[in-house]
């Protein structure tokens, strides 16, 4: 029962005193320096900072794609550091949906097949996968594009397919790294509206961006500069 700081709130992400060094050749490069970040379930947080400040490094740790050099990390109340690869994959599947700047869709698979992919790993039957993937695509406004290949979609549509894929297994957290970085302003607005809608439905949204206009859409902005995090602009 360690997670309730205040009555009625639940700490879904709890990073304390996180350090991340990269080893390049014989050089140790410190990238994250004493990062502490607590996020309650249902928050919409933007992590904003310039290129090279450590945003993607932090996202990879939050998303259990990489481990910190030092520090503690509880995801949905569970210490995920030191778990086996299989255990981590399981936590990731239930807790986190990823969205990337470059969409990361499989080029030879249709929109529907791309969205259904996480459900294959979740062991869901083929019929059920198709049904849920179709619902997820309807929800992002692409019910009429299910059989399209990524090359037949616009950038904004590709990102909405990626959001449907991120959300198809109903994860608690949507983790997005520069989700509008490759989009025109109209498609960016559509993506940000979708994030807001998902957040209103209870999804915790963590959005990484270097763009202050984009960060404004979140309810809370934290700043990262040269690997240090603060709630105030540095």
Q: Given the rule CB under 6 A, which residues bind ligand ADP?
A: 22, 24, 29, 31, 49, 51-57
- Least CB distance from residue 154 to ligand ADP, whole Å? 25
- CA–CA dist 44, 35 (Å, integer): 19
- CB-based contacts of 193, cutoff 8 Å, min separation 6: none
Which of Mg ion, ligand ADP, none does residue 52 bind (CB under 5 to 8 Å by kind)?
ligand ADP
Q: Are 207 and 176 in contact (CB under 8 A)?
A: yes
* Nearest to ligand ADP of 52, 234 (CB atom): 52
Which of Mg ion, ligand ADP, none does residue 31 bind (CB under 5 to 8 Å by kind)?
ligand ADP
* Nearest to Mg ion of 58, 96 (CB atom): 58
- CA–CA dist 42, 184 (Å, integer): 28
* Nearest to Mg ion of 55, 129 (CB atom): 55
Cβ neighbours around 185 below 10 Å, total: 8
* Nearest to Mg ion of 55, 139 (CB atom): 55
Which of ligand ADP, Mg ion, none does residue 121 bind (CB under 5 to 8 Å by kind)?
none
Site string for Mg ion, 42-71 (x = CB under 5 A): -------------xx---------------
Which of ligand ADP, Mg ion, none does residue 24 bind (CB under 5 to 8 Å by kind)?
ligand ADP
Alpha-carbon radius of gyration of the chain: 18
Q: Are 62 and 217 in contact (CB under 8 A)?
A: no
- CA–CA dist 126, 22 (Å, integer): 41
């Amino acid at each position: 029962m360690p997670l309730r700081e205040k009555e009625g709130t639940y700490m879904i992400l709890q990073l304390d005193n996180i350090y991340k060094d990269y080893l390049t050749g014989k050089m140790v490069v410190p990238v994250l320096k004493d990062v502490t970040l607590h996020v309650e379930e249902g928050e919409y947080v933007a992590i904003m900072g310039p290129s090279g400040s450590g945003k993607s490094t932090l996202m990879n740790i939050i998303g259990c794609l990489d481990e910190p050099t030092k520090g503690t990390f509880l995801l949905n109340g569970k210490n995920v550091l030191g778990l086996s690869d299989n255990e981590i994959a399981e936590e990731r599947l239930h807790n986190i949906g990823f969205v990337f700047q470059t969409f990361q869709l499989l080029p030879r698979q249709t929109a529907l097949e791309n969205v259904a992919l996480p459900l294959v790993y979740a062991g869901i039957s083929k019929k059920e996968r198709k049904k849920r993937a179709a619902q997820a695509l309807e929800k992002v406004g692409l019910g009429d594009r299910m059989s399209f290949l990524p090359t037949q979609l616009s950038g904004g549509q590709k990102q909405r397919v990626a959001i449907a894929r991120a959300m198809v297994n109903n994860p608690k957290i949507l983790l997005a790294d520069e989700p509008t970085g490759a989009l025109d302003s109209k498609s960016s607005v559509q993506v940000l509206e979708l994030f807001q809608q998902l957040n209103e439905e209870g999804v915790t949204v963590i959005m990484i961006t270097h763009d202050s206009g984009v960060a404004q859409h979140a309810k809370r902005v934290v700043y990262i500069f040269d690997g240090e995090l603060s709630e105030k602009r540095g």
